[in-house]
Structure 1
Amino acid sequence: MTTDLRHNDPRHRGASVVTPGEGTAERWARAQLFFDSKAYADAALLLAEVVDEVPEQVGPRLLLARAYYHSAQLRRAEEQLRAVIERDPVEHYAHLVLGRVLERQGRNAEAVPYLRLASAFDGEFPDA
């Protein structure tokens, strides 16, 4: 069964991405579909709600950060990635993406420690 994401895409027919009465699990699943179809801004709208409902879970927050990154909402991505790292300091992918977010903002010196940590967590040890 194929889901037509355009039905709920606000760029199509004026429909809202957020569906009233939809539960957290349904929003999470739809957000993943939006993300997979590269509708990152739409995914972020749903994921922000999911994160508000389950702030202790790292997975939705990390996907929200990635959706922000891909939709060029870099400050929001940075904020979410820092929250992920605060909750799970050894989440290597959060360190990697935060490093890339900082690089994309031209903050290369700030990015270096996060990129090095991500490499170390991944078992790569570049020469100093």
Structure 2
Amino acid sequence: MRHLLTNRQLSHTVPGMRIEIWADVVSGWAHVGKRRLEKALAGWQGEAVEVVWRPYQIDPSAPAGTLEAHRLIALAYEKGGAELQSRVLERVLHAHFVEVRDISDPAVLTEIATEAGLAEEAGHTGSGAAPQTPPGAELTRELLLIGKAKGVHTSPTIVVGDLALEGAQPPEAIRAFLEEASERTPRRLPAEVERLRHAESLLDQRDPLGALTLLRPLMREHGDDRGVRMLAARAYFGSAQLNRARTALESLVSESPDDSYARHLLGRTLQRQGRHEEAATHLALAATMTPDYAT
């Protein structure tokens, strides 16, 4: 199945075409898909390509999960680009599929990280007694959310620009897909706009906490932007953080009293807080401005 996605540039900027593989490292089809992509690229005469592995979890709730393996692979790309990431990825795949080792075991991943020169960066704790957030953990969390926002739900999914190809397709099909993608000139949106769109997609998928995770940098750097504030207010409401939702919405309504949506959402927030008289005022005004809110 081929469908449209929105591309997001992360970290390294390289000329040519970026091919992203969104997949889980324990997926046999992902392994097959990677090999088929390599065959499709053999003798490629088009523009230069960069192949980047992106994280996807088939079962995030599995007790022996792949989150830490994905973190190491994402960190490898951040530290050394596609070449280093490819080496680390191959080592992880070999450990899982050939050596039949547990790639959720920190000792196994530390061994792989050490071989790649990433031992210090890939550590799980700092020098003190209190655990610290491992390097690359936040990036991996964001990538998983971005994949969800884009609609990735199959391992593997190959993405180029705004096109995606699902499943471990034959090399000929992958080659045709890449040729089609190379002929397109995707519109490059500012990173902030793409992040906002991904957050909105997560809200539409009823993942307000995920939306807030992606909004966090925008709230720090563009906290005065009304679009960012409105989306954050929606996410607060959706995650039942009603005091934060009310504070954000009161500010938005104060600035633009004729914003019927902000006023309606403020009324619903107050309603959920049991402040029915205040809620009624805002709900009535919103319905007067936009009759659809009266239903």
For the aligned pair, the TM-score class normalised by the smaller chain equals: 0.7 to 0.9
* Aligned residues between the structures: 120
Matching residue within 99, 106, 115 for 2:274? 106
- Does residue 38 of structure 1 match 2:163? no
- 1:83-94 pair list within 5 angstroms: 83-94=251-262
Match of residue 75, structure 1, among 201, 218, 243: 243
Aligned to 1:55: 223
Distance 1:54 1:8, change over 3 A: farther
| Separation (CA, whole Å) in 2 of partners of 1:87 and 1:103 | 21
Q: Given the two structures, how large is their TM-score scaled by the length of structure 2?
A: 0.36
What is the CA distance between 1:123 and its match in structure 2? 4.5
How far 1:91 moved relative to its partner? Answer: 0.5
CA deviation string 1:83-109 (max 9, x = no partner) = 211222211011101000001011101
What is the CA distance between 1:2 and its match in structure 2? 6.5
- Structure 1 CA distance for aligned equivalents of residues 211 and 273 of structure 2: 22
Aligned CA-pair RMSD = 3.0
- Residue number in structure 2 paired with 1:17: 142
Please identify the structure whose Cα radius of gyration is greater.
2
AA in 2 matched with 1:122: T
Where does the alignment leave 5 or more consecutive residues of structure 2 unmatched? 6-21, 23-54, 61-66, 69-139, 146-189
TM-score (structure 1 length as normaliser): 0.75
Q: Measured at CA, do residues 2 and 94 of structure 1 come closer, stay the same or move farther in structure 2, by a change above 3 Å? A: same
Aligned-residue identity in percent: 32
- Structure 1's consecutive aligned runs of 4 or more residues displaced over 4 angstroms after TM superposition are 1-4
2: distance between equivalents of 1:39 and 1:2?
21
SS of 1:17's equivalent? helix
Greater helix content? 1
- The amino acid across from 2:289 in the alignment is F
**Which structure is higher in RCO with an 8 Å CA cutoff and minimum separation 6?**
2
Gapped runs of 5+ residues in structure 1?
none
Structure 1 residues 72 and 46: alpha-carbon distance in aligned structure 2, compared to 1, 3 A threshold:
same
Tell me which residue corresponds to 1:120.
288
CA deviation string 1:64-121 (max 9, x = no partner): 1111111111111111111211222211011101000001011101111111110111
